C-alpha cells in the first residue's frame, strides 16, 4: 500500500499537517482514491484513456469535479441508513456507493449531512490530483500507473523519462531504443487499455498472473479460464530452447524456435550456378542461467508463463510491415518483413517465475513472435513458423468458444542450441 505523507514546506509537495493517507490503487497501480487514517474518503481520481487525471471531491456525486447544488439534489434521492442491496425509490432506502465515505456498506447520517452542509468546491484543473492549497488534506503526486506527477510541468516523471498525458506521448526518446517499435515517443504501442510502462522504456502487461488451472482475475471482475482440449484436459506448451511444442486433443503445436540473441553467427556462401549463390547461416544460442539474466540479449528465463489466446498482435504488425518497409532500417530484410514477423503474442510470467536480470530488476516485454532471422532478446522466436502457431492458437480459441489462457513452461535441457537457414541469392560477381 502506498502512503501520501505530507512534508515540511521546503519539500516538493508540502502539506498543512503530518497525517498519512493510504492510497487505493487499481491493477495498473494508478491511485484511484486517498483515505484518512480513520478510513474516511479524502478524494477520488479518475483517468482518461492515456492517463489524464480528473479529480473529484468526496461529495461530488455526479463526478464532474465540482461540488455544488446538483450533488446535494442527487443526495436527496437517498436517505441515511441505506445499505448495500437497498434499491428502492425515495422515501424508501436506496444505496449509493459514492455517498459511503468510510466504505462501511451503509450511508451514515454524518455522511449524508456532510453532503448537505459542506460548502461548494470548484473543480481542480484537469491533470491535477490534489488541491494545492491543501483544503482536502494532502497534496498527492502519485497518480496514473504509479507515476510521479509534477504540477508545474503538468507531466509525470517515470524514472527514465517524462510522460505527457495531455498528448498521450513521451516527451523524450525511448532510452531502450526500438523495443516497442519505430516510434520512440509512442506510449505503450498506442494501447494503454492493455499495456503499462513502469519505468519509461518498455511496455508490459499489468494483469495479475493466474494460478494454474484457475480463472485469471480480469477487469470488471471477469475471469480468463485455462484453455482445454476436446476431452476437457488443460492445453499446455513447452519450450526447450529448440522447439515450442504441446497442445491437446484436436490442437497440436510443434514449431522450431529459439530465444535470445545468438552468441555466434557463421555465414558461408557457395556458388550454385553462374548467377546464384547458396547462403547458409548457422546461429548459436546460449541458454545458460547467466545468459537468462542478461537484459537486452539473453534468453527468456526458465519457469512458467501464460499466453492469452485473444492477445494476438497481427493488426499492429501488419501496420509495422507497411510503414517500416519504406525505410532502410537494419531490422528489416527480404523485402521489408518486420523483425517480429506477421504475428506476435505477449506472454506473462507466473508469480513463482524469477525474471530478474543480473541487477535484480525484473525483465519484461516477453513475446512469442515470428521474423525473418533467428534470435530475439527475451522472446520465443518462431521466424516463419508464426503462421503455423497462429493457426494453432486460432483452433484453440475456436474450440473453447472464448478467450482463454495457455500455460507455457520454459526449461533448457541443453546449454547450447543451433539454428541453420539456407537461402538462394543472386551472385555478387556474375560472369
pLDDT of residue 132: 65
Question: Tell me, what DSSP letter sits at residue 428?
Answer: S
Contact 183/174 with Cβ under 8 angstroms? no
pLDDT of residue 391: 92
pLDDT of residue 337: 45
Contact 368/347 with Cβ under 8 angstroms? yes
Cell of 399: 474450440
pLDDT of residue 328: 36
pLDDT of residue 37: 77
Contact 299/305 with Cβ under 8 angstroms? no
Contact 145/51 with Cβ under 8 angstroms? yes
Residue 385: strand, helix, or coil:
helix
pLDDT of residue 339: 59
- CB-based contacts of 325: which residues, under 8 Å, 6+ apart? 332, 335, 336, 337
pLDDT of residue 135: 58
Q: Which of 250, 252, 254 is nearest to 229 (CA)?
A: 250
- CB-based contacts of 218: which residues, under 8 Å, 6+ apart? 207, 224
pLDDT of residue 133: 64
Peptide bond between residue 91 and the one before it cis (omega within 30 degrees of 0) = yes
HEC per residue, the chain: CCEECCECCCCCCECCCCCCEEEEECCCCCEEEEECCCCCEEEEEEECCCCCEEEECCCCCCCCCCECHHHHHHHCCCCCCCECCCECCCCCCECCHHHCCCCCCECCHHHHHHHHHCCCECCCCCCCCCCCCCCCCCCCCECHHHCEEECCCCEEECCCCEEECCCCEECCCCCCCCCCCCCCCECHHHCCCCCECCCCCCCECCCCCCCCCCCEECHHHCEECECECCCCCECEEEECCCEEEEEECCEEEEEECEEECCCEEEEEEEEEECCEEEEEEEEEEECCHHHHCCCCCCCCCCEEEEEECCCCCHHHHHHHHHHHCCCCCCCCECCCECCCCCCEEEEEECCCCCCECCCCCECCCCEEECCCCCCEEEEEECHHHHHHHHHHHHHHHHHHCCCCEEEEEECCCCCEEEEEEEEEEECCCCC
pLDDT of residue 95: 82
Phi, psi of 316, rounded to the nearest 5 degrees: -65, -40
Q: What is the mean pLDDT of each run of 10 residues along the chain (431 residues)?
A: 39 46 84 83 88 88 86 80 76 77 79 83 86 68 90 89 93 85 86 80 64 42 75 93 92 94 94 87 95 94 91 54 36 44 88 87 90 92 93 90 88 94 83 65
Q: Is 38 exposed, middle or buried (0-12, 13-18, 19+ CB in 10 A)?
A: exposed
Contact 320/329 with Cβ under 8 angstroms? no
pLDDT of residue 105: 82
- CB-based contacts of 364: which residues, under 8 Å, 6+ apart? 198, 202, 204, 355
Amino acid at each position: 500500500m502506498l502512503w501520501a505523507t505530507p512534508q515540511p514546506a521546503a519539500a516538493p509537495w508540502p502539506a498543512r499537517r503530518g497525517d498519512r493517507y493510504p492510497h487505493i490503487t487499481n491493477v495498473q497501480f494508478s491511485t484511484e482514491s486517498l483515505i484518512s487514517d480513520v478510513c474516511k474518503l479524502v478524494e477520488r481520481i479518475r483517468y482518461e484513456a492515456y492517463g489524464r487525471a480528473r479529480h473529484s471531491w468526496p461529495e461530488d456525486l455526479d463526478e464532474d469535479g465540482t461540488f455544488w447544488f446538483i450533488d446535494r439534489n442527487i443526495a436527496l434521492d437517498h436517505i441515511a441508513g441505506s445499505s448495500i442491496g437497498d434499491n428502492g425509490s425515495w422515501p424508501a432506502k436506496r444505496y449509493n456507493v459514492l455517498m459511503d465515505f468510510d466504505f462501511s456498506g451503509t450511508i451514515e447520517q454524518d455522511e449524508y449531512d456532510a453532503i448537505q452542509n459542506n460548502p461548494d468546491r470548484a473543480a481542480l484543473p484537469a491533470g491535477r490530483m490534489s488541491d494545492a492549497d491543501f483544503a482536502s488534506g494532502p497534496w498527492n503526486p502519485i497518480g496514473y500507473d504509479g507515476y510521479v506527477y509534477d504540477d508545474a510541468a503538468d507531466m509525470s516523471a517515470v524514472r527514465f523519462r517524462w510522460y505527457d498525458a495531455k498528448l498521450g506521448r513521451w516527451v523524450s526518446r525511448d532510452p531502450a531504443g526500438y523495443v516497442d517499435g519505430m516510434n520512440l515517443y509512442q506510449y505503450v504501442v498506442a494501447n494503454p487499455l492493455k499495456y503499462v510502462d513502469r519505468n519509461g522504456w518498455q511496455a508490459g502487461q499489468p494483469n495479475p498472473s493466474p494460478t494454474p488451472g484457475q480463472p485469471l482475475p480480469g477487469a470488471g471482475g471477469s475471469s480468463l479460464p485455462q484453455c482445454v482440449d476436446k476431452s476437457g484436459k488443460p492445453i499446455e506448451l513447452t519450450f526447450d530452447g529448440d522447439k515450442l511444442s504441446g497442445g491437446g486433443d484436436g490442437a497440436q503445436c510443434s514449431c522450431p524456435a529459439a530465444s535470445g540473441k545468438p552468441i555466434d553467427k557463421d555465414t558461408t556462401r557457395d556458388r550454385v550456378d553462374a548467377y546464384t549463390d547458396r547462403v547458409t547461416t548457422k546461429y548459436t544460442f546460449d541458454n545458460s542461467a547467466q545468459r537468462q539474466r542478461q537484459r537486452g540479449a539473453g534468453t527468456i528465463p526458465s519457469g512458467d508463463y501464460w499466453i492469452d489466446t485473444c492477445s494476438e498482435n497481427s493488426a499492429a504488425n501488419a501496420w509495422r510491415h507497411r510503414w517500416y518497409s519504406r525505410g532502410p532500417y537494419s531490422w528489416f530484410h527480404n523485402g521489408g518483413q518486420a523483425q517480429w514477423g506477421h504475428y506476435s503474442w505477449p506472454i506473462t510470467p507466473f508469480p513463482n517465475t524469477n525474471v530478474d536480470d543480473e541487477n535484480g530488476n525484473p525483465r519484461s516485454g516477453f513475446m512469442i513472435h515470428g521474423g525473418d532471422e533467428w534470435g530475439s532478446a527475451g522472446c520465443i522466436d518462431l521466424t516463419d513458423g508464426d503462421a503455423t502457431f497462429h493457426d494453432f492458437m486460432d483452433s484453440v480459441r475456436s474450440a473453447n468458444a472464448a478467450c482463454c489462457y495457455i500455460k507455457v513452461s520454459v526449461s533448457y535441457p541443453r546449454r547450447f542450441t543451433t539454428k541453420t537457414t539456407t537461402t538462394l541469392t543472386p551472385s555478387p560477381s556474375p560472369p
